[in-house]
Amino acid sequence: MSDLSDLVLRVRERVLQQAEVLPACVTEKDIAAAERELGFTLLSLLYRQVANGGFGPEYTLLPLIGPGRTAVSEYGPPRSTAASEYWPRGVLPILDWGCGMYAAVDCLDPAAPVLLFEPNAGPEDWADAWFLDSPSLAQWLSSWLDGTGWWEEVMMAEDAQEPVPWPDASRRLAADS
């Protein structure tokens, strides 16, 4: 069994222990439709094998597709012509932390880093609103399973580390302008 398959099984086990009801998993047809709309390939294993959102850290993952707010629909507004100055192509929002903050996966990077978009400081340069939450989606999920993510109370302590700026933010935002 691959490390990724093992991780997905661990996520599924945790989700089944915590959730009374989960959304159904998405189908290959759903994934293909979402990828056509977005214009890039998705890391869809969680949505295909665990559930269509509704699990994960704190506010839980957005559904990929469906009625209401979804990862696909949330990607649309930031990528509109007027707003693309602050949201890079291929960065899919997966979790709304509230107050304008999102966790997002860089689907164009093979490592699939998880980024934190934190616009509340009103940066003059939108690149300053992007932080590297985790070097990979797998590590991000592992930190959720292990209770070590920055969103955990332990990480909110006075001596918590400052978020690390996303080193690719300026380049990726400039590529879209």
- What 39-48 contacts at long range (C-beta under 8 Å, 24+ apart), as own/partner pairs, is 39/89, 40/89, 40/90, 40/107, 40/108, 41/107, 42/92, 42/107, 43/105, 43/107, 43/112, 43/137, 45/4, 45/8, 46/8, 46/11, 46/141
Domains of the chain, residue spans: 3-176
Give me the mean pLDDT over the 33-59 stretch. Answer: 89
Count how many Cα atoms sit within 13 Å of the Cα of residue 88 in the half-sphere of its side chain.
26
Supply the mean pLDDT for the chain: 86
Q: Could you say which of 3.40.50.620, 2.70.98.60, 3.40.1190.20, 3.40.1580.10 is the CATH number of the domain covering 3-176? A: 3.40.1580.10
Cα–Cα dist 75/70, whole Å:
8
Min mean pLDDT across 3-12, 29-38, 100-109, 130-139 is at 3-12
pLDDT digits (tens, 9 = 90+) for 146-176: 988 877 654 455 666 778 999 999 999 988 7
- Which pLDDT belongs to residue 156? 54
pLDDT of 73 higher than 60: yes
**What confidence tier does 43 reach under pLDDT thresholds 50, 70, 90?**
confident
- Which pLDDT belongs to residue 155? 45
Per-residue 3-state assignment (H helix, E strand, C coil) for 87-128: CCCCEEEEEEEECCEEEEEECCCCCCCEEEECCCCCCCCHHH
pLDDT digits (tens, 9 = 90+) for 113-124: 999 999 987 778
**What confidence tier does 44 reach under pLDDT thresholds 50, 70, 90?**
confident
- Which pLDDT belongs to residue 154? 45
